[in-house]
A and B are shown apart, each in its own frame.
Chain A
Amino acid sequence: MNREMMRKERIDRGIKVRTERIYAISSYREILYLLGPRVLLIVGVMVLPLALEFAPYWKRVVNITCVYSLLALSFDFLANYVGLVCLGGAFFVGVGGYLSAIFNVYLGLPVFLSIPLATIGGAIFCTALLLPCLPLRGVYFAIVTLMYPLLLTRVIEALNIMGGTNGITGLASLPNEYVEQYSIIIMMLVFMFGMRRFVNQDIGLVLRGVKDNDQSVRASGINITYMKGLAVFIASFIGCFGGAYIAHLYMWAGLSLFALDFSIIPIASVVIGGGGTLVGPVIGSFILVPLSEVLRAFGTFRIVIYCAALTGFIVFKSEGLMVYMQRKYHQFERWVKV
């Protein structure tokens, strides 16, 4: 019997984790099976700063990576659960960062107030600016989210407000290195698991309905513009938190917060990690961002390596790492005769 006559068969593992909320657990092995990957991820991320104790540069990279993974999370949520392609990572980071700087430097609020205020204020600001293009279907939302950071950059430059091209300097830093490090790591984990929970709530299903087909949602008496606005608020909330944090990390809010990197790298992370999983994008960022730091030694040539890696992923594993790993974890595969 040659291989042409064989077929790969996939069988679900015989553990009752298929339902969404009810877990039927009968042994330690099953508990381990369920909790294993989650615990591995949490412990892994929490231990990372300690493991890098003697590499302060890389500890900083971890912080930045967490910010990128928040942006990737917000992109994944909007794109794969609400159906809005958002290229506005830079917009969220910029608005969050500048607001935090204004609260901290100009109004003299302490850092533990300025970050939350900038997060909420930024989310309101971003949502208000994006509201006009929400009733439209198609590429308009993507284009507008891409344009806003460019627009705000020019406005700040031209009017020479908020520090102009120099940016706002002298932001308070977080009390110490560990607070700085663990605040972002814990917030990232909270947002990640929180969003996973949220999309399976009834309200999350309504948002998924908006993506699947918005006409039926309208016919169900739900205002889709309101729902999209809510989703954008949540996504920009996550993004603005990242921005506010990064401004305090650099102790500076400048035009580079509106850099296109904040829009592009999260999207690449989602591609690598696997869209629609919400964990995948985080894993994707933890691969891509450190990779781009390593490749810094190659100068501009790193873009080539970067692009090659991305293309490779899109061509050979377009489903993304997370989807692939989930399948391997939850299913047996074996070759059977046809």
Chain B
Amino acid sequence: MSDAPILSVKGISKSFGGLKALVDVSFEIQQGEIYGIIGPNGSGKTTLINCITGFIKPGAGRVYFKGKEITGWPAHKIAHIGISRTFQIMRPYYTLPAFKNLIIPLWSPRAKKTGGWRGGGKHGDRDTVAVDILEEIGFERDSRVPYKLASTLPTGYQKRLELARCIAMRPEIIFCDEVFSGLSMSEIAGMTPLIEKLKMDGITLIMVEHRLRELFRVADRVMALNFGEKIAEGLSSVVIEDKRVKEAYLGKEAV
């Protein structure tokens, strides 16, 4: 891992009024790795994602993507250069059928730039590309599922739809905000190979997760947050044994 990091975050801080949501968080991510971010509720994981992807402006600190500073850029511009994200609370377009949900990322300037919207053929239309992507992510093509209204899909499919929306952009980094939460064991078992496949495709994944066991199975490195501070970083086996991480999750007496 001697290459320059694809994403480096330096000293991000953010406070909401008197509450310090993030305190001087720094980390670097290498091209192609799966990086996990863990921490108890309210430890600032989602705020960190929001700060990096431009949905809120960080109070202090800098974010570099491939050496270029992107701190404080608007969200759509950050998405345009290839940093994509899912939402913890699923945000599909409820009034559209599942495959029409992908028309929006496929219409975006990013998809035009990467050529992602055309699929293979010269005159391919977005509808076919959309169904292709959905099939890739586990919607059965010949069933009615891709054509159902997004609001009628079960949670598992909605989570997949969130990921599909990212993939349609052909991003370089995907921030997955709790893609495993709310899923059954079998749904997670279906999701894990998907994550691994994305890694094989060379996409860097940053996964914020509560389901530690499932996360540790796929993650290369893990960072732990507590009360907005980074308390540990490294291989998952090391982080899970860290005293401060155990304290954060279980309380002082239990350790």
Binding site for B on A (CB under 8 A): 202-203, 205-206, 208-209, 212-213, 215-224
Partner of A212, one of B77, B95, B110: B95
User: Do A215 and B55 touch across chains, with their CB atoms under 8 A apart?
Assistant: yes
Look across to chain A and name the residue whose beta carbon is closest to the beta carbon of B150.
A212
Cα distance, A220 to B95, chains bound together (Å): 17
Given A202-B107, A202-B126, A215-B55, also A221-B93 (CB < 8 A): no
Count chain A CB atoms within 10 A of each CB in B85, B91, B106, B169 and give the residue with the most. B91
Cα distance, A216 to B105, chains bound together (Å): 9
Look across to chain A and name the residue whose beta carbon is closest to the beta carbon of B75.
A218
User: Do A219 and B96 touch across chains, with their CB atoms under 8 A apart?
Assistant: no
User: Do B96 and A220 touch across chains, with their CB atoms under 8 A apart?
Assistant: no
User: Do B93 and A208 touch across chains, with their CB atoms under 8 A apart?
Assistant: yes
User: Do A221 and B80 touch across chains, with their CB atoms under 8 A apart?
Assistant: yes
Chain B min CB distance to A81 (Å): 10
Chain A min CB distance to B228 (Å): 23
Which residues in A have their C-beta under 8 angstroms from that of B84?
Answer: 219
A-B contact pairs, 25 of them (CB 8 A): A202-B103, A205-B107, A208-B95, A209-B96, A209-B104, A212-B94, A212-B95, A213-B91, A215-B55, A216-B92, A218-B75, A219-B55, A219-B75, A219-B87, A220-B76, A220-B104, A220-B108, A220-B110, A220-B169, A221-B76, A221-B105, A221-B110, A221-B169, A222-B104, A223-B76
User: Do A218 and B96 touch across chains, with their CB atoms under 8 A apart?
Assistant: no
Given A202-B107, A208-B95, also A219-B126 (CB < 8 A): no
Cα distance, A220 to B93, chains bound together (Å): 12
Cα distance, A55 to B5, chains bound together (Å): 78
CB of B221 within 8 A of chain A?
no
Contact with A along B99-131 (1 / 0, CB 8 A): 010011111111000000000000000100000
Which residues in A have their C-beta under 8 angstroms from that of B12?
Answer: none
User: Do A222 and B76 touch across chains, with their CB atoms under 8 A apart?
Assistant: yes
Binding site for A on B (CB under 8 A): 53, 55, 74-77, 79-80, 84-85, 87, 91-96, 100, 103-110, 126, 165-166, 168-169
Which residues in A have their C-beta under 8 angstroms from that of B169?
Answer: 220-221
Which residues in B have their C-beta under 8 angstroms from that of A203?
Answer: 107
User: Do A221 and B94 touch across chains, with their CB atoms under 8 A apart?
Assistant: no
Cα distance, A221 to B83, chains bound together (Å): 9
Look across to chain B and name the residue whose beta carbon is closest to the beta carbon of A200.
B100
Look across to chain A and name the residue whose beta carbon is closest to the beta carbon of B125.
A202
Cα distance, A219 to B96, chains bound together (Å): 17
Cα distance, A222 to B53, chains bound together (Å): 14
Partner of B165, one of A202, A208, A220, A224: A220
User: Do B107 and A215 touch across chains, with their CB atoms under 8 A apart?
Assistant: no
Cα distance, A137 to B224, chains bound together (Å): 35
Cα distance, A206 to B104, chains bound together (Å): 5
Cα distance, A203 to B93, chains bound together (Å): 14
Given A216-B165, A221-B79, A221-B169, also A206-B107 (CB < 8 A): yes
Further pairs besides A208-B95, A220-B104, A220-B110: 8, Cβ < 8 Å: A202-B126, A209-B93, A212-B93, A213-B91, A216-B87, A219-B55, A222-B107, A223-B76
User: Do B79 and A220 touch across chains, with their CB atoms under 8 A apart?
Assistant: yes
Which residues in A have their C-beta under 8 angstroms from that of B106?
Answer: 202
Cα distance, A208 to B95, chains bound together (Å): 8
Chain B min CB distance to A275 (Å): 13
Chain A min CB distance to B67 (Å): 21
User: Do A219 and B53 touch across chains, with their CB atoms under 8 A apart?
Assistant: yes
User: Do A208 and B108 touch across chains, with their CB atoms under 8 A apart?
Assistant: no
Chain A min CB distance to B119 (Å): 14
Which residues in A have their C-beta under 8 angstroms from that of B53?
Answer: 219
User: Do A218 and B79 touch across chains, with their CB atoms under 8 A apart?
Assistant: yes
User: Do A217 and B104 touch across chains, with their CB atoms under 8 A apart?
Assistant: yes
Which residues in A have their C-beta under 8 angstroms from that of B87?
Answer: 215-216, 219
Which residues in B have their C-beta under 8 angstroms from that of A216?
Answer: 87, 91-93, 104, 165
User: Do A222 and B108 touch across chains, with their CB atoms under 8 A apart?
Assistant: yes
User: Do B109 and A222 touch across chains, with their CB atoms under 8 A apart?
Assistant: yes
Cα distance, A263 to B52, chains bound together (Å): 42
Partner of A215, one of B91, B94, B103, B105: B91
Look across to chain B and name the residue whose beta carbon is closest to the beta carbon of A211.
B95
User: Do A219 and B107 touch across chains, with their CB atoms under 8 A apart?
Assistant: no
Chain B min CB distance to A207 (Å): 10
Cα distance, A220 to B84, chains bound together (Å): 7
Cα distance, A216 to B85, chains bound together (Å): 9
